[in-house]
Amino acid sequence: MVDTAKTAGTSGDAKPRSVGVVLVAVMIAMLLASLDTMITSTAIPTIVGELGGLEHLSWVVTIYTLATVASTPLWGKAGDMYGRKGVFLTSVVIFLIGSALCGAAQDMGQLIAFRAVQGLGGGGLLVG
């Protein structure tokens, strides 16, 4: 009789994933999100001065938080359905695209919209 545990790949002879590598990857992603928050909070007065939208200042911060909170459970469900690695990498890419778009924003409306895109990716970083 064939031992199904060995043929299914659940035996101890399979190479385990390095926990250290996974931990470092998650720490880098969290550093990415933390740096974004620290840099944005420091530079926001200058950015608003350049774009001339003081009346919309609160939305720049608030929309990121709203998008992150709203997307976090969606990223969690997607991770359960499709696998965490791909979903996590997708959220990192969306976060980076949102960051690049924020840097290219020409007015406050664009900055607010691009911060929402960045927040969508940030929700996936928190789940990851």
Q: Where are the domains of the chain?
A: 31-127
Tens of pLDDT, residue by residue over 24-81, are 877 887 787 778 778 877 888 888 888 887 888 888 889 999 999 999 999 999 999 9
Rounded to two decimals, the pTM is 0.76
Tens of pLDDT, residue by residue over 92-107, are 999 999 989 988 999 8
Q: Which long-range contacts (CB under 8 A, 24 or more apart) does 45-53 make?
A: 47/111, 48/108, 51/105, 51/106, 51/107, 51/108, 51/111, 52/107, 52/108, 53/107, 53/108, 53/111
